[in-house]
Amino acid sequence: MATAPRSGGSGSGAAQRPNGTSQNKSCQFKLVLLGESAVGKSSLVLRFVKGQFHEYQESTIGAAFLTQTICIEDTVVKFEIWDTAGQERYHSLAPMYYRGAQAAIVVYDIQNQDSFQRAKTWVKELHKQASPNIVIALAGNKADLSNIRVVEFDEAKQYAEENGLLFMETSAKTGMNVNDIFLAIAKKLPKNDNNPGTVIKPNGNESTQTTNNCCK
């Protein structure tokens, strides 16, 4: 019981929902954004969820929570997105958000070498502490500023390959690759029978059947 109480779970709710979505396969995934301060985590989420971009996105205190639903073929995928504060001081709160997450986007700023190093530390931490099956994507953000880049594309790509990460360079400002990276994650997340036992939502207000897969 309650071994992973706030996982968000990937329990399917499709069949039992009273809202008429019962025909669709649907899954829900918890996704967390990590990375150094001011690399554009909140902006990526804002672009993905609302299609907007704020030149001066306020700094995130604690964390922000948003959701977005996308469709892949006949599957409806709902992302529960945790956008975290980047400052090192808030690091100790981060596990609260990545605990039980099925996916993570680790963000760095292509103009900032330190932020890339910090991204690597996050990846290490996730490999060590997060769910073993977590899907991790590395996002080199601010790609619209690639003329003043410091982190080379190939360098990051190689690192991502060596560590089994999805990788894209993104720009929250122009929207480049923003939807794509979420889509790539959604595709990589297990949605079929070979996904072993799912975590049950502690509040149990959705499906109560222990399904072996998140989609029916």
H-assigned helices in 51-89: none
Nearer of residues 138 and 168 to another protein, judged by Cβ: 138
Amino acid at 102: Q
Interatomic CA distance for residues 88 and 14, integer angstroms: 39
Q: Return the sign of the alpha-carbon dihedral for residues 52, 176, 186, 162.
A: negative
**What's the closest the beta carbon of residue 90 comes to another protein, in angstroms?**
7
**What's the closest the beta carbon of residue 147 comes to another protein, in angstroms?**
20
Question: Alpha carbon of 47 to those of 59, 66, 68, 182: distances in Å?
Answer: 16, 12, 11, 11
**What's the closest the beta carbon of residue 208 comes to another protein, in angstroms?**
4
Contacting positions for another protein (CB under 8 A): 1-2, 5-6, 8, 16, 18, 37-38, 55-67, 80, 85, 87-93, 95-96, 99, 114, 117-118, 121, 200, 202-208, 210
DSSP run (H or E) holding 162? helix 153-162
Nearer of residues 53 and 90 to another protein, judged by Cβ: 90
Nearer of residues 118 and 191 to another protein, judged by Cβ: 118
**What's the closest the beta carbon of residue 205 comes to another protein, in angstroms?**
5
